[in-house]
C-alpha cells in the first residue's frame, strides 16, 4: 500500500489492510502499537468477530513521567472487552540503553533502533512490539502482522517472523505491507 505521508490519518486503512492480509495468509496474530489506547480500540473494533488474535502493546509505566501510564484505563478496558490483550512492557530498544547512554554516551540498542528508523519509525516499532509480545508469551515464533506508526496512529504494517528479544536477530521482516514514503 502506498502511503505518502506518515500520520494517524492512515490508521484505519492500515488496520483493514492488515486484517485482510492476515486472513489471506492464514496469519492468526496481529500486534498493534498504541500509546494512549486509541489505535488499540480502533483495531479491536475492526477485528471483532474476525477470529484473529489482537495484542495491543503500550509503553511501560513511567515512560514519560515517573509512575504514570500513558494508556488510558477506559480504553484499555474497551480493548479487553472487544477481545484484545493489552501488553504494557519494557521497550526492547529503549530502557537500559537509554540509561547507559545518559551516563556513557553510547548504546548498542540505540545503534540498532536508529538503523531500523532509516526505514521509518513505524518499522522500528513493529520489530520492537513483536519482540515484546514474544517475550511475554503472547504470540508464537511464527509469522504475525505488526502494526505501528509515526508519533500517533498507524501508518506501517509488516509481515514479520516473531521471536523473543534475546533472539532479536532471528526476527525477520518478511514483507512491508504499508509504510510512509515520507517520514
In the chain (183 residues long), the average pLDDT of successive 10-residue segments reads 86 96 97 96 97 94 83 97 94 70 72 91 96 94 96 94 93 97 83
Number of domains in the chain: 1
**CATH number of the domain enclosing 126:** 3.40.1380.20
Is residue 62 a part of any domain in this protein? no
In angstroms, what CA-CA distances link 148 with 29, 30, 66, 106, 125?
14, 11, 24, 26, 6
> Residue 89: CB partners within 8 Å, gap ≥ 6?
57, 58, 60, 132, 135, 136
Residue 98 maps to a domain = yes
**pLDDT value of position 30:** 97
pLDDT at 90: 82
**149 domain-assigned:** yes
Residue 125 domain-assigned?
yes
pLDDT at residue 94, as a whole number: 67
Classify residue 103: in a domain, yes or no.
yes
Report if residue 63 sits inside a domain. Answer: no
Q: What is the pTM of this model?
A: 0.78
Q: Has residue 146 been placed in a domain?
A: yes
Q: Measured between alpha carbons, how far is residue 153 from residues 12, 131, 157, 178 in Å?
A: 9, 20, 12, 13
* Domain span at 165: 2-57+68-182
Cell of 38: 486509541
CA 157 – CA 33 distance, rounded (Å)? 11
What pLDDT is attached to residue 99?
Answer: 67
Rounded Cα distance between 87 and 59, Å, is 9
Amino acid at each position: 500500500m502506498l502511503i505518502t505521508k506518515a500520520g494517524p490519518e492512515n490508521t484505519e486503512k492500515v488496520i483493514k489492510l492488515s486484517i485482510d492480509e492476515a486472513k489471506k495468509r492464514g496469519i492468526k496474530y496481529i500486534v498493534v502499537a498504541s500509546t494512549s489506547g486509541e489505535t488499540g480500540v480502533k483495531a479491536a473494533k475492526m477485528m471483532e468477530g474476525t477470529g484473529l488474535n489482537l495484542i495491543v502493546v503500550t509503553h511501560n509505566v513511567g515512560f514519560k513521567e515517573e509512575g504514570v501510564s500513558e494508556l488510558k484505563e477506559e480504553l484499555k478496558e474497551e480493548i479487553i472487552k472487544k477481545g484484545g490483550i493489552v501488553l504494557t512492557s519494557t521497550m526492547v530498544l529503549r530502557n537500559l540503553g537509554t540509561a547507559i547512554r545518559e551516563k556513557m554516551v553510547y548504546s548498542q540498542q540505540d545503534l540498532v533502533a536508529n538503523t531500523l528508523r532509516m526505514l521509518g519509525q513505524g518499522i522500528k516499532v513493529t520489530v520492537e512490539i513483536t519482540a515484546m509480545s514474544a517475550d511475554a508469551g503472547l504470540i508464537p515464533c511464527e509469522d504475525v502482522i505488526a502494526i505501528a506508526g509515526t508519533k500517533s496512529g498507524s501508518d506501517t504494517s509488516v509481515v514479520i517472523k516473531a521471536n523473543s528479544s534475546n533472539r532479536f536477530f532471528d526476527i525477520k521482516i518478511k514483507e512491508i505491507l504499508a509504510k510512509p514514503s515520507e517520514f
